[in-house]
Amino acid sequence: MLTRSLRLPRALFQYRSNPIATHALSPQLIKARTMHIQHIKMRWGTGDNYAYILTDTATKDSWIIDPAEPQEVIPVVQDLVDAGKIKLTAIVNTHHHYDHAGGNKGLLQEFPKLPVIAGRDSPLVSLTPQHGQVLQLGAHIKVTALHTPCHTQDSISYFCEDTSTQPAQRAVFTGDTLFIAGCGRFFEGTASEMTKALVDTLGGLPDDTLIYPGHEYTKSNVRFVKTVMDPAKYDAVKMLDDYTNSHEITTGVFSMGQEKTYNPFMLVREPAIQQLVKAESAHEAMASLREKKNKMIVMIPEVLPHNHMVPKEVEKTIPAPAKRRINISPLSTL
């Protein structure tokens, strides 16, 4: 059977409650030993973006990651600062697109003198870490910058390890490179670059690393995955489909090990996936999958094509009928 080469231990794709991921079920700041992660919804219903607050509780030092919409982010951050729960020490971007880095100026107006850690093309960047460079957040969180060019050439994922725990708890912020069950469009790169970014760089992380993407696209991604990997044959796909049918939030819930059981973009080196898309190499399989995803046209109300490029105040000026009648792929950055 085609699926045999992808069979992995059931433990990898069974959903298990994880203390670092329980914030997905609550809007509150959830404790997970030393490393705390809180998501903030932005542009919900149009771009479904996430910003994240990453905190080392021992020192309360915190980063705000991809704070694209200051009016949605600043009240949350300010409340935590005022309550003495966090000390904001940096703004971090995964890449330069507006819906990730567009809030840098607004955040700096409210919290001046913060460094901006990001790729070279982000606005007001003050530090661009090298690939593999290790940064320290507070006393216990080690952050490794991973260059993952393709969606944009300045895309950086941030792999975080809580060194106060044994084994260390791990998380990775992937921006628009890796989504749950999907990947970003190749706006500035090639299938070869995305293969390296997904399979080698991110796929090489420990299997227990929890994934925090830049958008909540999982339900839409699963619709595409089911056209490639039949849920009747792939238990992991059925599991994810069932989960998204009953849960709106999937960020921080699933691990890198699980991702390798249902995300075809991460499985392009598998002969079974190559055969399914009639490809002879990993790069061909990646290109074929991306082309198929791009052609999966749907009608989604109130979503602009490439809305990651459009500031919200500009988006508001476009008549609703013009938004509703645009053919786009499942979501614009997908």
Q: What is the pLDDT of residue 92?
A: 98
Active-site residue, 215 included:
yes
What's at 128, amino acid-wise? T
CB atoms within 10 A of CB 72: 18
Catalytic residue among 36, 39, 96, 97: 97
* Active site annotation includes 36: no
Question: What are the DSSP calls for 205-216, one per residue?
Answer: S-TT-EEEESB-
Residues of the chain with pLDDT below 70 are 1-33, 297-334
Phi (first) and psi of residue 77, to 5 degrees: -65, -45
The predicted structure's pLDDT at residue 167: 83
pLDDT per residue as tens digits for the range 163-215: 998 888 999 999 999 999 999 999 999 999 999 999 999 999 999 999 999 99
Please tell me whether residue 241 adopts helix, strand or coil conformation: helix
Our answer to whether residue 176 is catalytic in this structure is yes
Q: Which residue reads 């593999």 in tokens?
A: 132
**The predicted structure's pLDDT at residue 2:** 32
The catalytic position among 23, 39, 95, 96 is 95
Domains contained in the chain, CATH given? 17-267 (3.60.15.10)
Select which of 36, 140, 215, 308 is catalytic: 215
39 in catalytic set? no
Q: Of the listed 56, 66, 99, 162, which one is catalytic?
A: 99
Exposed/middle/buried for residue 26 (C-beta within 10 Å: 0-12, 13-18, 19+): exposed
pLDDT of residue 334: 66
pLDDT of residue 204: 98
Q: Which of 23, 96, 140, 151 is catalytic?
A: 151
